[in-house]
Structure 1
């Protein structure tokens, strides 16, 4: 079944970027460099914020697509999607304001608009990490943050026999980070 119309509603907007950046390189190879990290440490905060906004709007103007984050300076996780802007442009996806209310078959948005005959709603609101299968004192979660030594090992565990892999938000692809975590965990488990 092909949907008649898809809507996207965001509470505060979101930076959207292409996987491909300058000269066809992956965006993280261009966006996260030692030089740019050094600039962030040296330059005044206002200049760094301006540079980030310029970088994020290089592919397309987020304001034109109603995706501009309300707090532009908060660098939360971006959406990496090559197709979203073109789908919005051709009308396959319509950007809506924050959902105010849901009824049995419709959505009412903060701007007063109503969309009827909604078949499916997908909530992408994030997640809360929890470990109900472990003792409460082993892995602590406070304010949606997991307290782990080097983002992997429970600090209060007597022996290093448990590692949590992938509970990290890297700058770029998570897979290389997870692979390095797995390699390190196996070396720790082997006593190396």
Structure 2
């Protein structure tokens, strides 16, 4: 059992509940034709402002120390329990971590937390395809795939990548559709 959990974030993060307007799942409310049309037609700054306003209806991220510190769009963290864990004191939000000592952590604001036993780094990941030649799939900041599936550098579609996307909503249905499309392309039934 942990005595105290510290959550250190340098940029902040959007935390969303699975339950959205009128008790519906958030992806069903957010991913409608009307919502998508309005997000695509409005200026980016206005669309981001509206999204931020809606996300902050559940709880104000600034009150919890989770307000985003830059204006870049960031994928939300879907978790129903984090705000209540912060309120109860089970999780303490800290600013960016700057240094570790043998048993303590030093944060950007100068605060030091002693007797740290376990550290979990959840800093993201890098894409890599070490089993493929760089001429097939070049990995830099993003992976250049046609419709997020087929490498553009191949003359014929003989390789498909499944799941290298971040959809709004459930990923399993998107993976299934990608797999169906890839099999149809491989069979020559579609392009």
- Report the TM range for the smaller structure's normalisation: over 0.9
Task: Report what 1:17 is aligned to.
Answer: 16
What are the superposed Cα offsets for residues 1-60 of structure 1, whole Å, 9 maximum, x if unpaired? Answer: x11111100011011000111122110111222212222333344432331121010111
What are the superposed Cα offsets for residues 74-93 of structure 1, whole Å, 9 maximum, x if unpaired? Answer: 32111000010011110111
Give me the TM-score of the superposition, normalised by structure 1.
0.92
Give me the TM-score of the superposition, normalised by structure 2.
0.93
| Structure 2: runs of 5 or more not aligned | none
Q: For the structure 1 residues 39 and 159, does the alpha-carbon distance in structure 2 shift closer, same or farther, using more than 3 Å as the test?
A: closer
CA RMSD of aligned residues (A): 1.5
| Structure 1: runs of 5 or more not aligned | none
**SS of corresponding position for 2:139:** strand
User: Of 109, 126, 131, which residue of structure 2 is paired with 1:111?
Assistant: 109
- The Cα of 1:110 is off from its aligned counterpart by 0.7
2:135 equivalent to 1:166:
no
**SS of corresponding position for 1:95:** strand
Task: Identify which range, 85-94 or 149-158, moves more after superposition.
Answer: 149-158
Q: After TM superposition, which residue ranges in structure 1, 4 or more long, deviate above 3 angstroms?
A: 41-47
- The Cα of 1:157 is off from its aligned counterpart by 2.2
Cα distance in 2 for partners of 1:173, 1:102 equals 37
Task: Report what 1:132 is aligned to.
Answer: 130
Cα distance in 2 for partners of 1:145, 1:43 equals 25
The size of the alignment, in residue pairs, is 189
- The Cα of 1:121 is off from its aligned counterpart by 0.9
Q: For the structure 1 residues 42 and 147, does the alpha-carbon distance in structure 2 shift closer, same or farther, using more than 3 Å as the test?
A: closer
Q: For the structure 1 residues 47 and 134, does the alpha-carbon distance in structure 2 shift closer, same or farther, using more than 3 Å as the test?
A: closer
Task: Report what 2:82 is aligned to.
Answer: 84
Cα distance in 1 for partners of 2:37, 2:156 equals 38
Cα distance in 2 for partners of 1:39, 1:154 equals 31
What are the superposed Cα offsets for residues 55-113 of structure 1, whole Å, 9 maximum, x if unpaired? Answer: 01011111111111112x43211100001001111011110010011112110001111
Cα distance in 2 for partners of 1:62, 1:184 equals 40
Q: Which has the higher helix share?
A: 2
Aligned positions of 1:60-79 closer than 5 A? 60-71=59-70, 73-79=71-77
Q: For the structure 1 residues 47 and 150, does the alpha-carbon distance in structure 2 shift closer, same or farther, using more than 3 Å as the test?
A: closer
